[in-house]
C-alpha cells in the first residue's frame, strides 16, 4: 500500500505580508534619504549661484563704479554686453520647473524658487531711475528648509 503525502509548497499569507511590509519600509527609507540628499544639493547650488552672481556684480562695480539696476541685470542683451561672464543658469533657482534662459531673472523681493536682488543708492532709496547711483545691493536665496538655522542665504555688496 502506498500512502500519498502531499506537501504543500509555497508561502503563507503571513509570510507574504511580512515581506511586503519589509520592502515598503526599505523603500520609504530610500526615498526619504534621496529627498534629503536632493534638498542639500539644491541648497548648495543656491549658495554657489549667489556667490557667482556676487563675484560678477563686484567685477562690474570695479569697472563702472556702480551696481547694475534690477531692470538691467534682468535684460539678457544688457547682461551679455556688460556682464558676459555671468552664466544665465546662475540666475535660476535649482527648483525652477522650467530652467530655460527666459526664466533667468532676479526677483525684487525674496521668495521660494527665485533669487532676489535688491539694489539701492547709498541712502537706501531705489536707484532704478538713476542707475549710476546704485551703491548697495542684497542678494537673497530662500533655502528649502533651514541650513545652519537660517531660512535664507544673503550676500551684500562688499563696500
- pLDDT value of position 15: 87
Q: Which residue has the cell 511590509?
A: 21
Residue 125 lies in a domain: yes
Q: What is the CATH number of the domain that holds 118?
A: 3.30.700
The reported pTM is 0.79
Q: Which residue has the cell 562695480?
A: 61
Residue 3 lies in a domain: no
Residue-number span of the structural domain to which 69 is assigned:
15-156
Residue 83 lies in a domain: yes
Q: What is the mean pLDDT of residues 21-36?
A: 84
- pLDDT value of position 136: 95
Residue 1 lies in a domain: no
Q: Where are the alpha helices (DSSP H) in the chain?
A: 13-64, 70-73, 76-82
- pLDDT value of position 28: 86
Q: How far apart are CA 66 and CA 21, in angstroms?
A: 62
- The answer to whether 105 and 71 have CB atoms below 8 angstroms apart is no
CA angle 53, 58, 60 (to 5 degrees): 95
Q: How far apart are CA 155 and CA 55, in angstroms?
A: 10
- The answer to whether 110 and 93 have CB atoms below 8 angstroms apart is no
| Total domains present in the chain | 1
Q: Could you count the other beta carbons within 10 Å of the beta carbon of residue 46?
A: 22
Q: Could you count the other beta carbons within 10 Å of the beta carbon of residue 116?
A: 19
- pLDDT value of position 132: 87
Tens-digit pLDDT profile for residues 71-120: 999 999 999 999 999 999 999 999 886 667 777 899 999 999 999 999 99
Residue 116 lies in a domain: yes
Identify the band that residue 7 occupies on the pLDDT scale cut at 50, 70 and 90. Answer: low
What's the whole-number average pLDDT of the chain? 89
Residue 147 lies in a domain: yes
Amino acid at each position: 500500500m502506498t500512502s500519498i503525502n502531499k506537501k504543500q509548497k509555497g508561502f503563507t499569507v503571513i509570510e507574504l505580508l511580512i515581506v511586503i511590509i519589509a520592502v515598503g519600509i526599505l523603500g520609504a527609507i530610500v526615498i526619504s534619504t534621496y529627498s534629503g540628499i536632493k534638498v542639500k544639493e539644491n541648497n548648495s547650488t543656491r549658495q554657489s549661484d549667489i556667490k557667482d552672481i556676487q563675484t560678477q556684480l563686484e567685477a562690474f562695480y570695479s569697472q563702472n563704479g556702480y551696481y547694475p539696476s534690477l531692470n538691467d541685470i534682468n535684460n539678457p542683451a544688457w547682461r551679455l554686453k556688460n556682464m558676459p561672464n555671468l552664466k544665465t543658469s546662475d540666475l535660476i533657482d535649482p527648483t525652477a520647473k522650467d530652467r530655460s534662459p527666459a526664466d533667468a531673472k532676479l526677483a525684487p523681493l525674496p521668495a521660494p524658487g527665485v533669487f532676489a536682488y535688491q539694489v539701492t543708492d547709498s541712502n537706501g532709496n531705489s536707484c532704478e531711475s538713476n542707475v549710476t547711483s546704485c551703491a548697495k545691493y542684497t542678494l537673497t536665496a530662500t533655502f528649502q528648509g533651514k541650513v545652519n538655522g537660517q531660512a535664507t542665504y544673503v550676500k551684500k555688496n562688499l563696500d
